[in-house]
Amino acid sequence: MKVLIIGSGGREHVLAWKIKQSPLVDHIYCAPGNGGTEKVAESVDIAVDNYAGLLKFAKDKRIGLTVVGPEVPLVGGIVNLFEEEGLKIFGPTKEAAQLEGSKVFAKEFMRHCNIPTAAFETFRDINQAKDFLQQAQYPLVVKADGLAAGKGVIICKDQEKAVDAVTQIMQEKIFKEAGNTIIIEECLEGEEVSILAVSDGDHYVILDSAQDHKRIFDDDMGPNTGGMGAYSPAPIANVDLLKKIATRVIDPTVRGMRRENIPFKGILYVGIMVTKEGPMVLEFNVRFGDPEAQAMIPRLKNDLMDILLATCKGELDKIHLDWSKKSCVCVVMSAGGYPGKYKTGDEIKGIDAAEKIEGVEVFHAGTKNIDGKTVTAGGRVLGVTGIGDTVDAAIKTAYKGVEAIEFEKCFFRRDIGAKALASLIGSNRQTTTRN
């Protein structure tokens, strides 16, 4: 079977890397791909939003399955287009993708289905939003309604910061049309965890947990990014918590979407805040997380193609997931200045040396191969993934890989996985006390 993967990030590289291992697959194309996907797939110079071009390519090459990586083509309706032409494609329809494409849709859906989430108000008028801020409780969160590359969320500690956030989003249009409507919601306190489920519209299976690090600096300081690292599994996601998330969030979401006559098929990514009151939904995404996928997929023992095809056929009830007991940590190396302005075109050295380290895989994101050299081509450049028998071992392995790589003004957080390690140490201490 020929497979087409749409996208150019680290998520698409790890998908291509995993799918390459399937005996069902003869050839992989990646559109447009990056410097790393070229090692496991053939790059195709078609943009992710060139739906007509992608459709023509899939037809011409007789693609057996198309896998959509990023959110933009999903929200744009590429699944609808392919399915109308009788082509097999993994991902939700445009209507179902509203769970990510519109935060207002998602919040109203959660309210209607009684899914636990933060209290919120919606605003389309900037003056009404500012009036609300005068009597609001702080801290609070201001969110752009539409897609903003994972950066459309601003946590505000006081009214001044909140007014500034509303002004930037609605008046200065820092997220363009995505900020025409905003949500202002209560700021939840607790620990975050990412839970991903695969749904075929009727059935679902929950993938093993992961935890992302959204802020640019250590100790979760600075502005939000697309993600600076992740680890899997997340110790906080114990059996009891996963059961609560399944019954309170995943199950009512799948049933609710089916009831609305927009069955959800694909990856349902749920950002969860584990509060004192229990798990509450921060956001929905409708695709694999990036960098969560780079920390999660290497631990999956199943043939990923079996899962993707079962989803398309409505046969997920036949799938049983098998996970490695090892831990996996992904550290993102970014270009200096990200998530603001950054430079591209700098040569990256040491990737081969890093990949020779036992337990290290380097997944490319913002890279290109030019004249035999790999150079930077984006804000998040590489995801260096380490696998180990323990979280501590995985952390050390990942950072060994990171230290082997260099490019001008490269930046990375040095505390990826620290929360997992602290959680395990705390748990061990509690166990000792009880004994």
Rounded-to-integer distance, Cα 160 and Cα 113, Å: 34
Q: Is pLDDT of 83 > 70?
A: yes
- What's residue 435's pLDDT? 30
Kindly state the average pLDDT of the residues 27-55: 97
Other CB atoms within a 10 A radius of the CB of residue 423 amount to 16
Would the pLDDT of 431 be above 70? Answer: no
C-alpha span between 327 and 296 (Å, rounded):
9
* Per-residue confidence band for 346, with pLDDT thresholds at 50, 70 and 90: very high
Residue 150: pLDDT band with limits 50, 70, 90: confident
Mean residue pLDDT across the chain: 95
Whether 181 shows a pLDDT value over 50: the answer reads yes
Element (H, E) at 280: strand 278-285
Distance CA 215, CA 228 (A): 7
Structural contact between residues 129 and 147, judged by C-beta atoms closer than 8 angstroms: no
Which domains occur in the chain, in start order?
A: 2-93 (3.40.50.20), 125-180 (3.30.1490.20), 191-318 (3.30.470.20), 327-425 (3.90.600.10)
Instruction: Compute the average pLDDT of residues 40-46.
Output: 97
Which of 83, 99, 75, 101 lies closest to 312 in space, CA to CA?
83
Strand pairing of 42-43 and 27-32? parallel
For residue 423, what pLDDT band results from cuts at 50, 70 and 90?
confident
Per-residue pLDDT averaged across 133-157, rounded?
92
Q: Tell me, what's the pLDDT at 430?
A: 39
Percent residues over pLDDT 70 in the chain: 98
Give the pLDDT score at 427: 53
pLDDT of residue 338: 96
More confident residue, 427 or 44: 44
Q: What is the pLDDT of residue 386?
A: 98
Amino acid at 167: T
Q: What average pLDDT does range 349-369 have in this prediction?
A: 98
Cα angle: 269, vertex 274, 280; to 5 degrees: 60
Helix, strand, or coil (residue 50): coil
Please give the Cα distance from 54 to 59 (Å, whole number).
9
Instruction: Report the C-alpha gap between 109 and 143 in whole angstroms.
Output: 16
Per-residue pLDDT band for 151 (boundaries 50, 70, 90) equals confident
* Element housing 66 (H / E): strand 65-68
Overall average pLDDT of the 361-384 stretch: 97
Helix (H) or strand (E) segment spanning residue 98: helix 98-101
Give the count of alpha carbons within 13 A of 151, CB side only: 17
CA distance 382 to 167: 33
pLDDT higher than 80, residue 428: no
Name the phi and psi angles at 314, rounded to 5: 75, 30
What mean pLDDT do residues 399-411 have?
Answer: 97
Q: Given the DSSP bridges, would you call strands 229-232 and 211-212 parallel, antiparallel or unpaired? A: antiparallel
Q: What is the mean pLDDT of residues 291-301?
A: 97
Rounded Cα distance between 153 and 323, Å, is 32
Tell me the average pLDDT across 315-340: 97
- 72-100 average pLDDT score: 98
Beginning with the edge strand found earlier in the chain, give each strand of the sheet holding 229-232 in spatial order: 211-212, 229-232, 327-334, 380-388, 360-364
